[in-house]
Amino acid sequence: MKEIADILKAHQKAVKDHKKTALATVVKVEGSSYRRPGARMLITEDGQLTGAISGGCLEGDALRKALSAIVQQENKLITYDTTDEDDAKIGVQLGCNGIVHILFEPIIDQVVFNPIAILRALQAKREDAVLVTLFSLNSRIQPGTSMLYRKDGIQANSSAELRPTIIEDIAEVWRNKTAAFTSYTIAGNELDCFLEFVRPPVSLVIAGAGNDAQPLAEVAYLLGWEVTVVDGRPTHASAARFPNANQVLVAKPEQVLGQVNIDEQTAFVLMTHNYNYDLDLLNRLLDTQTPYIGTLGPRKKLTRMLEELNRNTAENKSRIHGPVGLDIGAETAEEIAISIIAEIKSVFSGASAGLLKEKKSPIHVHEIKANP
């Protein structure tokens, strides 16, 4: 979501500066690629790039393709094929053995529901959503970013004839909470479809406003997470000390849960260095559906807290991450922040947090296909 947020800011500035723009989206990948479907980049007519569709190897050629789309005012699908060892044939060296399909869409600001408007609607609510992008591998017809689905309704600029079928597949994507590819035939034309399941960013609540909480808040901010810092000490919990936090609260443990929203993407890290504060807040969190609770400090501290609360059950032990973080040999506050962020990311992604060189399967999970 941070990439989308950055793109929206860049587009807003481009409009203010009267610059034309195009959106590049990775819509399909076969084989190996640095970025996966859903990666996006905004290109302005004077060559400014926001976001990324590769590790940097495609951006130069993508700029030329985007400018062509802007001039011609039509969507274009470009395929980069590097399965041939001589990848210089296409003019770029990707360093990957795969086929990448990228859709270029000129942004026409006068069109009410253009791709940027769809992304802005996506960002407007902290809810799960499905983005629908239509393209064609076999023809010049490239409808592009076409639909946004949420549980309370759908916004679309796609064909009404196609919509009932897409909604059925959206429902499957919604249930599986993963992306999917499928295809449709409309008016004799075959259209490919990328259904992208999009979750809101992680909401990180840091209980503790000490010096060691500052790098944790900063790293989370750099990832585009929503950051809340809470502490009972007004001298520590201040916007001056946490300038990039979404909110900074001075609150007692019994006041915290009434001031934060908890959903499936919320993580709490208890690091006040005040035993009684952490104890009280932990007791309250165990009565919520918070998917991630991390406690700073040794395991024996967590065990002691659970025993004092008479809640030292196997279920609670498995639910709480204490000591919080991955074992990376962290010593400094900055290193500990990386350790904690990495663990939270792995938990919400369902990843093993192991060494990639020891992973037997592909690095990226392949998307399911809605209609085999």
pLDDT tens over the chain, length 372 residues: 789 999 999 999 999 999 999 999 999 988 767 788 999 999 999 999 999 887 767 778 888 999 999 999 999 999 888 665 554 444 445 455 678 899 999 999 888 889 999 999 999 999 999 999 999 998 888 999 988 998 888 877 765 556 777 888 998 898 888 899 998 887 777 889 999 999 999 999 999 999 999 999 999 999 999 999 999 999 999 999 999 999 999 999 999 999 999 999 999 999 999 999 999 999 999 999 999 999 999 999 999 999 999 999 999 988 999 999 999 999 999 999 999 999 999 999 888 888 888 887 766 654 444 443
Residue 291 lies in a domain: yes
Q: Cα separation of 177 and 184, whole Å?
A: 21
Residue 364 lies in a domain: no
Q: Cα separation of 114 and 136, whole Å?
A: 19
Same domain, 331 and 184: no
Same domain, 312 and 177: no
Same domain, 28 and 165: yes
Same domain, 169 and 42: yes
Cα distances (Å, whole numbers) of residue 79 to 37, 137, 183: 13, 9, 18
Instruction: Give residue 370's pLDDT.
Output: 45
Residue 83 lies in a domain: yes
Residue 158 lies in a domain: yes
Same domain, 151 and 229: no
Instruction: Name the domain boundary from 198, 218, 248.
Output: 198
Same domain, 249 and 103: no
Q: Which residues contact 309 (CB under 8 A, 6 or more apart)?
A: 279, 282, 283, 286
Same domain, 34 and 183: yes
Cis peptide bond N-terminal to 291, omega within 30: no
**227: CATH:** 3.40.50.720
Domain hosting residue 6, numbered range: 2-198
Instruction: Give residue 95's pLDDT.
Output: 53
Instruction: Give residue 353's pLDDT.
Output: 87
Instruction: Give residue 50's pLDDT.
Output: 94
Q: Cα separation of 170 and 164, whole Å?
A: 10
Residue 310 lies in a domain: yes
Same domain, 190 and 214: no
Start-end of H helices in 17-124: 59-72, 115-124
Same domain, 126 and 223: no
The neighbour count for residue 356, using CB atoms within 10 Å, is: 7
Cα distances (Å, whole numbers) of residue 158 to 144, 169, 259: 9, 15, 40
The neighbour count for residue 260, using CB atoms within 10 Å, is: 16
Instruction: Give residue 361's pLDDT.
Output: 72
Same domain, 20 and 142: yes
Helix (H) or strand (E) holding 139: none
Say which DSSP state 176 is in: H
Which of 126, 170, 128 has its CA nearest to residue 147? 170
Start-end of H helices in 177-252: 213-222
Pair 166, 143: CB distance under 8 Å: no
Locate 175 and state its tokens: 């249930």
Pair 268, 320: CB distance under 8 Å: no
Long-range CB contact pairs, 240-247, < 8 A, 24+? 241/209, 241/214, 242/209, 242/213, 242/214, 242/217, 244/217, 244/218, 245/217, 245/221
Same domain, 25 and 130: yes
- Angle of the 299-308 helix axis to the 275-285 helix axis, nearest 10: 70
Instruction: Name the domain boundary from 141, 168, 198.
Output: 198
Q: What's the CA dihedral at 134, 137, 142, 144 to 10 degrees?
A: 30
Same domain, 323 and 209: yes
Instruction: Give residue 162's pLDDT.
Output: 65
Residue 326 lies in a domain: yes
Greatest alpha-carbon pair distance for the chain in Å reads 69
Residue 355 lies in a domain: no
| Strand runs labelled E in the chain | 21-31, 40-44, 49-51, 76-81, 98-106, 129-135, 144-150, 153-156, 180-186, 189-198, 203-207, 226-231, 247-250, 266-270, 292-295, 320-321, 368-369
Q: What is the pTM of this model?
A: 0.87
Q: Cα separation of 223 and 165, whole Å?
A: 35
Residue 357 lies in a domain: no
Count of the separate structural domains present in the chain:
2
Instruction: Name the domain boundary from 198, 226, 254.
Output: 198
Locate 240 and state its tokens: 């001056």
Q: Is 78 helix (H, G, I), strand (E, B) or coil?
A: strand
